[in-house]
């Protein structure tokens, strides 16, 4: 009996050791794969962007428009058109934009129009919406939709749709901006920025990403395969949080899109087209105009910011309601008339005095 018990114990120990060995081997394999997925910045790569170019326009998209704006933009001359990528379920996000930075149609006497870009939702998703897209479109008339499926991997199709829509239905716009629903736009600052440009042709700007590397790891949202993009480095491009272009570039980029196969990342895709067109992106001198990562905007930043990424609908509303008041306080402080002060939790305006301590005013975000 004793030899049998000993044999059983040895078998169990051997099995346990085997399990630990397999676990360690799996962990080691994971670490090796993770290391290989990291970009190696000491590698200098020369990319021939003609790799992506097809002589014949074989990638021209022919999806059908199923919803279009009510206003006849082709008979208008807007200074700026803002096109916002959105999912069908983002009803609250669209409404937040309609009552904040997308509400006002004229800034400094210049017309600004805002529209939303959507794909087709699945039928079961449509039934789950409290307000169908068709009803929402009847109410607001600001939805542009084509009949491709609305998914993350089809964001590039939305961007192609945006370019096509501008060419066919809003050709008189002077500037075009593409942005997302989780971005706070200071529309007044944006219009002033464009009015102060020294040139208005071949202009493309936003949050610049130079020498950004492709990610081959495990996180699906950021991953791009070698088959789709075989190079280590992306072209210079502007983040999809919000890029702005002069209208003369719209038909040129759209035509190039018919020669370049769409890839997963729409902002990189536009960057490839710009490089093939030999158009350089404009890098803003002021680093407080575009924010890629979520930040707390203080008064100084709020006075200058054009686009800041990573905000919920409620936060966008909070910022929009607060910023005119806070900027006025800042201007009064600069003139030395009144300064903002906190007494306990109350904010008040007081005459400037050496005997009192001035507390810098920051916009206190409400976290939801």
SS3 102: coil
Interval 299-343: pLDDT, tens: 677 778 999 999 999 999 988 887 666 656 655 655 555 444 434
Q: How many CB atoms lie within 10 A of CB 115?
A: 24
Interval 204-222: pLDDT, tens: 999 999 999 888 776 667 8
Give kind and range of the element (H or E) at residue 9.
helix 2-37
Which one, of 300, 287, 239, lies nearest residue 265 by Cα? 239
Stretch 183-192: mean pLDDT? 94
Check residues 26 and 72 and name the one with the higher pLDDT. 72
Give kind and range of the element (H or E) at residue 130.
none
Q: How many CB atoms lie within 10 A of CB 72?
A: 10
Give dist(CA 107, CA 112) in Å, integer: 7
Give dist(CA 192, CA 34) in Å, integer: 45
Looking at beta carbons, which pairs linking 190-197 to residues 24 or more positions away fall under 8 Å?
190/80, 190/244, 190/306, 190/307, 191/79, 191/80, 191/107, 191/108, 191/110, 191/112, 192/108, 193/289, 193/306, 194/79, 194/80, 194/244, 195/108, 195/110
Q: What is the pLDDT of residue 9?
A: 53
SS3 236: coil
């Amino acid at each position: 009996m004793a030899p049998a018990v000993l044999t059983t114990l040895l078998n169990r120990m051997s099995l346990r050791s085997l399990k630990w060995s397999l676990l360690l081997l799996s962990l080691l394999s994971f670490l090796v794969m993770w290391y290989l997925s990291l970009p190696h910045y000491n590698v200098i790569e020369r990319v021939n962007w003609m790799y992506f170019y097809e002589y014949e326009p074989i990638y021209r998209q022919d999806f059908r428009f199923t919803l279009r704006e009510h206003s006849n933009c082709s008979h208008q001359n807007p200074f700026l058109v803002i096109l916002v990528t959105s999912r069908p379920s983002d009803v609250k996000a669209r409404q937040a934009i309609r009552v904040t930075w997308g509400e006002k149609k004229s800034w400094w006497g210049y017309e600004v129009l805002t529209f939303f870009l959507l794909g087709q939702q699945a039928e079961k998703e449509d039934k789950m919406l409290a307000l169908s897209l068709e009803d929402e479109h009847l109410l607001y008339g600001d939805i542009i939709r084509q009949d491709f499926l609305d998914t993350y991997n089809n964001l590039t199709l939305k961007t192609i749709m945006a370019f096509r829509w501008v060419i066919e239905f809003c050709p008189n716009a002077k500037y075009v901006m593409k942005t997302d629903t989780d971005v706070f736009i200071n529309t007044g600052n944006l219009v002033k920025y464009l009015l102060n440009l020294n040139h208005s042709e071949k202009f493309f700007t936003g949050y610049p990403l130079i020498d950004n590397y492709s990610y081959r790891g495990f996180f699906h949202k950021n991953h791009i395969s070698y088959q789709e993009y075989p190079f280590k480095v992306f072209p210079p491009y502007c983040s999809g949080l919000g890029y702005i272009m002069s209208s003369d570039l719209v038909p040129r980029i759209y035509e190039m899109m018919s020669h370049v196969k769409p890839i997963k990342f729409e902002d990189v895709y536009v960057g490839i087209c710009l490089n093939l067109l030999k158009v350089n992106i404009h890098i803003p001198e002021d680093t407080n105009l575009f924010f890629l990562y979520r930040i707390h905007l203080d008064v100084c930043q709020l006075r200058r910011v054009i686009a800041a990424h990573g905000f919920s609908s409620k936060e966008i509303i909070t910022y929009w309601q607060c910023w005119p008041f806070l900027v006025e306080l800042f201007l009064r402080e600069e003139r030395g008339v009144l300064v903002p002060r906190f007494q306990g939790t109350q904010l008040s305006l007081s005459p400037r005095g050496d005997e009192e301590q001035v507390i810098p005013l920051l916009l206190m975000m409400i976290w939801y």
